[in-house]
Amino acid sequence: MTVCARKRIVRDYEQVSVQAETLSVPLDLAALFGRVAPVHVEIGSGKGTFLLDQAQAHPECDFLGVEWANRYYRYAVDRMGRWGLTNVRLIRTDATAFVRQSLGDETVEAFHVYFPDPWPKKRHHKRRFFQDQNVEQLWRALRPGGVVQFVTDHEPYYQSAREVIARQADRWQEVPFERPAGAAEGEIVGTNYERKYRVESRAIYALAVGKRPAMQ
């Protein structure tokens, strides 16, 4: 006797998914979420594990996930919609262009960048998200005292990120890393990637930096 697994039907939820071409520039976050609340942005939201856990734990905040891979984006939209979360939105677009073009000055409470593609080959390093020009844009979009949290399993990328921050020392100060709600004991973030990498005994590296006020 054969057993056929039922394929999950992935649905779109209009209250969760955001179409890039419909966005105002700069993006009106209060209009997007229908209220004024602190906004957290996750760069590379994958299947939405962080967004799901954090949005449930912090209904007083709004969460915007940015994901380029269509299959992960669609899965995450379906996941948020099934849970009926009203404080999560997802957009499928290029994160670099989105942060630069769509986010207004001092509009974001925190950025979360967890296990981004490390682009390990030297000729591909320019494709990494955590580099000087992008981090400058994160600083611009953050509210005073806002935070960027970065986690990777790739030590050279981690060291490169620290070098970026060191070059912008007048803009950033290192702060304690705040473990998200979904992180179990012994975990830093609690995402699917972290759990996979821990099974493989990979080291995990975390960095959190807060926005310094502009020099007068």
Domains and CATH numbers, the chain: 17-211 (3.40.50.150)
Instruction: Give yes or no for a contact between 112 and 42, defined as CB atoms under 8 angstroms apart.
Output: yes
Q: Is 122 exposed, middle or buried (0-12, 13-18, 19+ CB in 10 A)?
A: exposed
What does the pLDDT read at residue 166?
97
Query: What pLDDT sits at residue 1?
Result: 45
The rounded mean pLDDT for the chain is: 93
In the annotation, is 170 catalytic?
Answer: no
Tell me the CA distances in angstroms from 146 to 40, 49, 109, 202, 211, one per residue in order: 10, 22, 5, 30, 5
Determine the average pLDDT of the residues in 178-200.
91
Nearest CA-CA partner of 181 in 40, 63, 81, 49: 49
pLDDT band at 215 (very low <50, low <70, confident <90, very high): low
Burial 79-94 (b: 16+ CB within 10 A, else e): bbbeeebebbbbbbbe
Question: Which residue bears the tokens 């950025």?
Answer: 111
State percent of the chain over pLDDT 90.
Answer: 79
Secondary element (H or E) of residue 173: strand 172-174
pLDDT in tens, 49-73: 999 999 999 999 999 999 999 999 9
* Alpha-carbon separation of residue 44 from 115, 122, 126, 151, 216 (angstroms): 8, 21, 17, 12, 34
The tens digit of pLDDT for each residue in 122-158 reads 888 988 999 999 999 999 999 999 999 999 999 999 9
Q: Which pTM was predicted?
A: 0.92
DSSP symbols for 112-132: EEES-----SGGGGGG-SSSH
The predicted structure's pLDDT at residue 9: 84
pLDDT tier at 6 (50, 70, 90 boundaries)? low
Instruction: Name the active-site residue from 62, 117, 153, 170.
Output: 117
